[in-house]
Amino acid sequence: MAQISTSDFKNGMSIDLDDGLFSIVEFQHVKPGKGGAFVRTTLRNVRNGAVVERTFRAGEKMERAIIDKREMQLLYRDGDDYVFMDNSTYDQLNVPSATLGDRALYMVDSSMAQLMMYEDEIIGIELAASVELNVAETEPGEKGDRVSGAKKPATLETGLVVQVPLFIHPGERIKVDTRSGEFISRA
């Protein structure tokens, strides 16, 4: 692996420390009037999302983590696992549902995703900004329900529950924002 110094830091860079794999959210070089320079950082744990503040001495060396992003397609679900296919090599990869977390609720068969891998370990997944899903079940909108901005819960085909406007009915296809989990529009 590549050794880097604190002077090489950039936002978004990943580093491998003794207590885990971290991504640099923010950093600041500080040169006080008295004493040695240091670098104050905000780091996000790539595996669990925890954010920590950490200070390093200027010029301190550490290992840079190379994270590989692979474009993959979800083929099918196999029990608790999701089977993905690499689009370039056609290799299949079983991914446990615990690794995907809540992101699995935005995925249906044949959907595309970018799997982030560190060595042979899957550490995260990136989805498109929005996905189209079918409404499996929701309460019917009553005639006369014309309140502006009123919402009702709808269960989608993946089990995800989102708040939708009153005019949405079961069987319709809607667009959902994958970052916030909010209804965007009809598809």
Q: Report angle CA 12, 100, 73 to the nearest 5 degrees.
A: 90
Q: Give pLDDT, residue 168.
A: 87
Neighbour count for residue 95 (Cβ, 10 Å): 19
Residues of the chain with CATH 2.40.50.140: 68-126, 130-186
pLDDT at 181: 87
d(CA 107, CA 74): 8
pTM: 0.72
Phi and psi at 6, nearest 5°, equal -65, -20
pLDDT of 40 reads 94
Pick the CATH number of 130-186 from 2.40.50.140, 3.30.300.30, 2.30.30.90, 3.40.50.11890: 2.40.50.140
CB contact at 8 A, 164 and 135: yes
Confidence of residue 104 (pLDDT cuts 50, 70, 90): confident
- What's the confidence (pLDDT) of residue 1? 60
CATH architecture assignment, domain 68-126: Beta Barrel (2.40)
> How far from 145 is each of 149, 171, 172, 186, CA to CA, in Å?
11, 20, 19, 19
Whether pLDDT at 39 is above 90: yes
Within the chain, all domains assigned CATH 2.30.30.30 are found at 3-64
> Tens digits of per-residue pLDDT, 44-102?
988 888 899 999 998 899 999 888 888 999 999 888 899 999 988 899 998 888 888 88
Architecture in CATH of 3-64: Roll (2.30)
Residue 145 confidence (pLDDT)? 57
Q: Supply the pLDDT for residue 147.
A: 63
Confidence of residue 134 (pLDDT cuts 50, 70, 90): very high
pLDDT at 148: 67
* Average pLDDT, integer, range 167-175: 90
